[in-house]
Amino acid sequence: MAPPALQLVPFRFDVTPPVGHSLCGGWIPPVASVDDPLEAIGFAILGAGKPIVVCAVDWTGICNEAHMQWRQALAAAVDTTPDRVAVQCVHQHDAPFACLETDRIVRRENGLPPNLDPKFFADCLRRGRAALQAAAQRPRRITHVASAQAQVAEVTSNRRILGDDGQVRKNRSVAPGGDDVRHLPAGCIDPWLKSVAFYDGDRKVAACYHYATHPISYCCDSGHVSAEFVGQARRLKEQHDDPDAVHVYFTGCAGNQNTGKYNNSDNKENRQKLAQRIYEGMEAASAKLQPEPIAELSWRTFDILPRPRADLDAEKIQTEISDETRRVVQRNRPAFALAWLRRCAQQMPITLSALHVNQISLLHLPGEPFVEYQLAAQARHSERFVAIAGYGDGGPWYLPTAEAYTQGGYEVSVAYCTPDVDATLTHGIDQLMRQA
């Protein structure tokens, strides 16, 4: 049940990488300039047992040990435990993709760029801890909560194009080469942007937005760091909403979602158009919010450790990484797979978490889940308002459905888990929801 005095602590800090830092795992050009800064934005909730912390980070991903260190740093700031901290990436691509073990692997090789700068990574953790500690001195009361959703038009499409045989015949791209499939239907998507807001009386204190799409308009060829169109939409909302409220954007289950039907990366103006459409969805959802008193609030977790694919052989992967005749991307990506194998050998689980408030559930999932997980969870638990953030612990990379494994395609080829990850993740989601 909700205690008589709940408080919320908004916080934010800069996580923009310096010039020369690797981007997206090191297989695209490093930072040359900054179009707009990257931020980590979140809030802590006080008064419901040990503090709860939820944070969204403008990075491509945070994996394995690196993800645990983020959670430990934010937990230490408010004297809570890492299992009561959710750290979710927004998944922009002109941004860091942090895995400490991957970095150790590639630094032992010739001709490979580092995965990240450990000093920069440690600085981000120090800034995060300091920002949350300072903000905790000025908590704000929360008494009410509200939820609503609105459709977003012409942003998201499913990027897996199936042929008549049920196999993936093309990956719908945001690049110009994707023109030949833009006439096809959007496919399986979740068109709804969901908003959950916390209030002190009728004054908004914090608002969360959840939407499932790869946040890519153009990227990956120039080293121009950007929070992308979703970051621009978030900033528009900050400018036009209550100036004292914190706004946090989460990318949902977008492993098979992108802007490919409605975007061509040759046209740089599309970024602003996509940002405006996301912002309009935020505005439409916000207009429907109807605050109600917080009657109950709880935090639930469930640990999983999906099995690695049987064909992921550590010795073979190491040979690929060390082969200097291969392109950087063909050496760096296997390093992430080797890091996952080592994590599984250590039996280090992934923590799923959920914040339940009244009839609202905010779920925090790992990796790059396919949108079908989101749609299925909402359908199975339709008695509640379910908003999902993907891109938590990025260790397992893509999380396709069992059916998708039979269809092939890029995402399946770089998924590190066996097809039974579908049953494992679905069971974990249901365990979180049964405790609501």
Q: Residue 180: phi, psi to the nearest 5?
A: -75, -5
The C-alpha atoms of residue 69 and residue 66 are separated, in whole angstroms, by 5
pLDDT by residue (tens digit) across 244-291?
A: 999 999 999 999 999 999 998 888 899 999 999 999 999 999 999 999
pLDDT confidence band for 3 (50 / 70 / 90): low
Q: 352 near 359, Cβ under 8 Å? A: no
pLDDT value for 2: 56
Length of the chain: 436
Place of tokens 């039974």: 420
Contacts of 60 (CB under 8 A, 6+ apart): 23, 24, 25, 89, 91, 92, 93, 95, 96, 97
Q: Phi first, then psi: what are they for 154, rounded to 5°?
A: 55, 50
Residue in the block written with tokens 């008193």: 293
CB 293 within 8 A of CB 6: no
290's enclosing H/E stretch is none
Helix locations, 223-370, DSSP H: 228-240, 270-287, 314-322, 328-345
> Stretch 203-216: mean pLDDT, rounded?
97
Mean pLDDT of 107-113: 93
Read off the pLDDT of residues 314-335 as tens digits, 9 standing for 90 and up: 999 999 999 999 999 999 999 9
Q: Which two tokens stand for residue 131?
A: 């920002």
Q: Could you tell me which residues come within 8 angstroms of residue 175 by beta carbon, excluding any fewer than 6 positions away?
A: 264, 265
- How would residue 394 be classed by pLDDT, with cut points 50, 70 and 90? very high
Q: What is the pLDDT of residue 129?
A: 98
pLDDT for the residue numbered 267 = 84
Q: DSSP readout, 159-191?
A: -EEE-TTSSEEEE--SSGGGGGGTTS---S---
pLDDT at 23 over 60: yes
Q: What per-residue string of b and e applies to 75-102 under the rule 16 or more CB within 10 Å gives b? A: bbbbebebebbbbbbbbbbbbbbbbbbb
pLDDT of res. 266: 81
Instruction: Read off the tokens for 51.
Output: 């503090």
The one-letter code for the residue type at 196 is V
* Model pLDDT for residues 53-101, shown as the tens digit of each residue: 999 999 999 999 999 999 999 999 999 999 999 999 999 999 999 999 9
What pLDDT does residue 435 have?
A: 75
* Number of Cα atoms under 13 Å in the Cβ half of residue 278: 31
Helix, strand, coil shares, percent, the chain, to 5: 35, 30, 40
pLDDT surpasses 80 at 135: yes
User: By percentage, how much of the chain surpasses pLDDT 90?
Assistant: 91
Read off the pLDDT band of 337 (50, 70, 90): very high
Q: Does the pLDDT value for residue 10 go beyond 70?
A: yes
384 φ, ψ (degrees, to nearest 5)? -120, 160
**Average pLDDT in the chain:** 95
- DSSP letter, residue 82: G
What angle in degrees, to the nearest 10, is found between the helix axes of 100-107 and 64-77?
130
Q: Can you give the pLDDT at residue 418?
A: 97
